[in-house]
Structures are given as structure tokens and as C-alpha cells.
Amino acid sequence: MERIFGRPIVTQEEMRARIRELGKQITADYTGKDLVLVGVLKGAYAFYADLARAIRVPLRVDFLMVTSYGSRTKTSGKVKMVTELTEEIKGKDVLLVEDIVDSGLTVQYLLKTLGKKKPRSIKVCTLLSKPERRTIDVTIDYEGFRIPNKYVVGYGLDYQQEYRNLPYLAVLDVAEDQE
């Protein structure tokens, strides 16, 4: 199956520049802290790798994987953590790294779940945000780009597990639109 994508919604150059800025900001904010960078798989993997290398303070890397039930371009409303962290986060400064905050459900769930492990602080960094889609009011501490209510793929983000390796972000035109 081949799909033709239109113009990138965020180009590789824009991405690089914005990630450099986020890295600087995070470096300044986490100097002297005890940073654990927690990536939310699978979607955040590309952003995570670039972001981590733009941060210039010592940090530990860790990952967790979540699934949200439901299919295709809609989030169903049930989030489940399918892998655990391996690093101790008690007393540490956790920065959650997400690909996209859509309804806000995943972030809300992760803040609650990881919060129980008593980190000293926990903040959220997301590459993308779709404010129009928010149903839960979550605080985003670092945000790469705000995008309109369109389904996007590439740079880690998928449609039915495909297109994650597209080196830029593109709008996927599927018949099944988001409401």
C-alpha cells in the first residue's frame, strides 16, 4: 500500500531547530537536578533520541510502553502501561517525553501512575500538542509544536503501526476523520 503525503506539517529543519531550543531550556531548568528522562513508547522514540542529545546535563534514560485500546485514528479512553520502568525514580526529577498530547488521557494516567513512585518532581515534554482535542486539562511543561486537529504520522508517530520512520511529520488523509 502506498500513500502520498502532502507537504510536511513540520519539516526536518523546523524540528531540529525547535528540539535544540527545548534542549537548552531543559538544560537550564535541570542543572543541579537528578534527571530521569522517561520516554513513552513507541511514538516518542524518534523525538526522544534527538531531545536527549540536545540536553547537556547528566541524565538517565528509561522507557515505558503504553497502549490505548481502540483503533486507528481515535483514542478509545482506556490507557494501559504494558512495560515497567527499570530505573528507580523515587526522589528523582522525572521528565516524561511524549510524542503527542491529544485528549490528555495518557499524560494524566502516567502522571498519576508514576506519581505513586514518589519522584521529587515530574514534568511533561511533548513534541506535539492538539489543544482543540483536549478533554482533560493537563499541564504541559515543554511543548514542541501546537498542531491543528489533523491526524499526523511520521517522526515516530504511526497509523496502524506504519509510517513511524517517515523523517518528517505529515498529515495522513484517511477517510475516518476525527470528530
The region of 20-28, 47-55, 70-78, 97-105 touching Mg ion under the rule CB under 5 A is 97-105
Rounded distance between C-alpha atoms, residue 59 and residue 94, angstroms: 10
Draw the binding track, 45-84, toward ligand IMP (x: CB under 6 A; -: no contact): -----------------------x------x---------
Site for ligand IMP in 4-43 (CB under 6 A): 43
Site for Mg ion in 4-43 (CB under 5 A): 43
Q: Could you tell me the three cell numbers for 176?
A: 475516518
Catalytic residues: 102
- Residue number with CB closer to Mg ion (4 or 160): 160
Closest approach, Cβ 40 to Mg ion, in A, equals 5
Rg of the Cα trace of the chain?
Answer: 16
Could you list the beta-strand ranges (E) of 12-167: 35-41, 59-68, 79-81, 93-101, 121-129, 142-146, 152-153
The H or E element that residue 52 is part of is helix 45-54
Q: Could you tell me the three cell numbers for 81?
A: 502501561
Draw the binding track, 119-158, toward ligand IMP (x: CB under 6 A; -: no contact): --------------------------------xxx---x-
What is the edge-to-edge ordering of all strands in the sheet holding 152-153?
Answer: 8-10, 169-171, 152-153
What residue ranges bind ligand IMP (CB under 6 A)? 43, 68, 75, 98-106, 151-153, 157
Q: Which residues in this chain contact Mg ion in the complex, by CB under 5 A? A: 43, 99
